[in-house]
Structure 1
Amino acid sequence: MVARFAKSQIILHWLTLLMVILTYSAMLLKDSVPEDDIDLVKNLHFNFGLSVFVLMFLRLCLRQRNAVPPITPALEAWQKLGSKVFHWLLYLLFLSLPILGVLTLAYGGKEWVLLGWQVPQWVTPDPGMRSLIKDIHEALANTGYFIIGAHTSAALYHHYLRGDDTLRRMMPGK
C-alpha cells in the first residue's frame, strides 16, 4: 500500500497545475487573438494567476497540517535536499508571480477587473516601476518553465527509472 498525500492536497496539486497551464497559455495566446480580445486574454491571465496564488497558499496551509508521506524506497540525502529545494522554489515562484503581476497592473495605472470587480487604483502610477516589476515578473515566469520541467522530470524519473512511489503518492484515485 502506497502512503499517499491527503485527498485535499492531491486535488489542489492537480488543480494548481491546471491553473498554471491556463495562466501561461493565456499570455502565450495573447499575440494570436484578434486585437479586440487582447484585454480579455490579459484579464484571464491575471485571474488565472491569482487563482494560482490562492491555491498555492492553501497548499502551504495544508502542508503544515499534513505530514509528507514517506517515499518507498527511501531517497538518498542529496535527493531529499533537491526535492525540498525544488518544492520550495515552486511555492516561492507561484506565490511571487501573482504579487508581481498585481503590482505591474497597479503601477501601470490601468483599470483592471478581479473576478468581475473593478479594482480601484491604490498606488501612484509609475511607468519606471511598472517596467522594472514587469521585467522581473517575466524573468521569473520564464524561470518557471525550467522549475516545472525539472519537477516533472524528477517525478517521471522516480516513477519509471527509480521505481519508487514518489509519483503514486500524488496521483488521484483510491
Structure 2
Amino acid sequence: MRSKYTSLQITLHWLVFLLIASAYCAMELKGFFPRSYRPAINAIHVTCGLSVLVLMVLRLLVRIKYRAPAITPKPHPAITGISHLVHTIIYLMFIVLPILGFLTVYFKGHDWSVLGIPMPHAPELDEDRQFEVKELHELVANTGYFVIGIHAFAALFHHYIWKDNTLLRMMPGKKDRL
C-alpha cells in the first residue's frame, strides 16, 4: 500500500492551489492597479478560474481511480468523516465556483475569449441574471477563504499535533517506496 498520493495527484493538487491563489489575488489586488490594467487582471482571474474547473474535474477522475493512501496512525472515524466532508465541499466548491464565474461573463452578452479561444455568450445582456450569478459567485468565493483555511489548518494540525502522515502524503519530493 502506498503511503503517499501519486505524483499526478500531488502535481494536480499544488497546481490547483497555485491557480486558486492566483485567481483570488487577481481579484483582491486589482484595486491597486490603474483602471487600464483591469481587463488584463480580469483575464487572469477568468483564465485561472476556468483552468481550476478543468483540473478539478481531472482531479476527481484521478481520485476515483487512485484512492487516498492510509493515514498512519489511523485517526478516529469521526475525524475521517469530517475530512471526507471537507474534501467533498472543496471539490464541489471549486467545480461550481468557476461555472458560476463562467455564467457571470456569459450573461454579460458580449464577445469574450480565454487564451484566444472565443467563448459562448448570451445574445444580449441579461443584467438581472448576471447580477444574481455574480453575487452567488462572490459568496462561494468568500466562503472559499474559510474552507481553504480549515483545510490548511487541519493539515498542519495533523502534522504538528497528532504527528500523523496526513500532510506528508501530499507533499512533493521523494517517491513512495513500496
The corresponding residue for 2:13 is 13
The corresponding residue for 1:108 is 108
Q: Is contact 1:106–1:123 with CA below 8 Å preserved after alignment?
A: no
The corresponding residue for 2:52 is 52
CA displacement at 1:112 relative to structure 2? 1.7
The corresponding residue for 2:166 is 166
CA displacement at 1:116 relative to structure 2? 1.3
The corresponding residue for 1:68 is 68
Counterpart of 2:68 in structure 1: which amino acid?
Answer: V
CA displacement at 1:123 relative to structure 2? 5.0
Q: Secondary structure at the match of 1:108?
A: coil
CA displacement at 1:30 relative to structure 2? 1.5
Distance 1:9 1:123, change over 3 A: farther
For 1:57 and 1:120, locate their aligned partners in 2 and report how far apart those are by CA, in whole Å. Answer: 20
* Residue segments in structure 2 that go unaligned for 5+ positions in a row: none
Q: List per-residue Cα deviations over 1:85-131 (Å, max 9, x = no partner).
A: 00010000100011000100011123322111232424543100000
The corresponding residue for 1:145 is 145
| Count of aligned residue pairs for this structure pair | 174
Counterpart of 2:85 in structure 1: which amino acid?
Answer: V
Counterpart of 2:69 in structure 1: which amino acid?
Answer: P
Fraction of identical pairs, as percent: 43
Q: Secondary structure at the match of 2:113?
A: strand
The corresponding residue for 2:117 is 117
For 2:162 and 2:2, locate their aligned partners in 1 and report how far apart those are by CA, in whole Å. Answer: 15
For 1:94 and 1:77, locate their aligned partners in 2 and report how far apart those are by CA, in whole Å. Answer: 26
For 2:60 and 2:139, locate their aligned partners in 1 and report how far apart those are by CA, in whole Å. Answer: 24
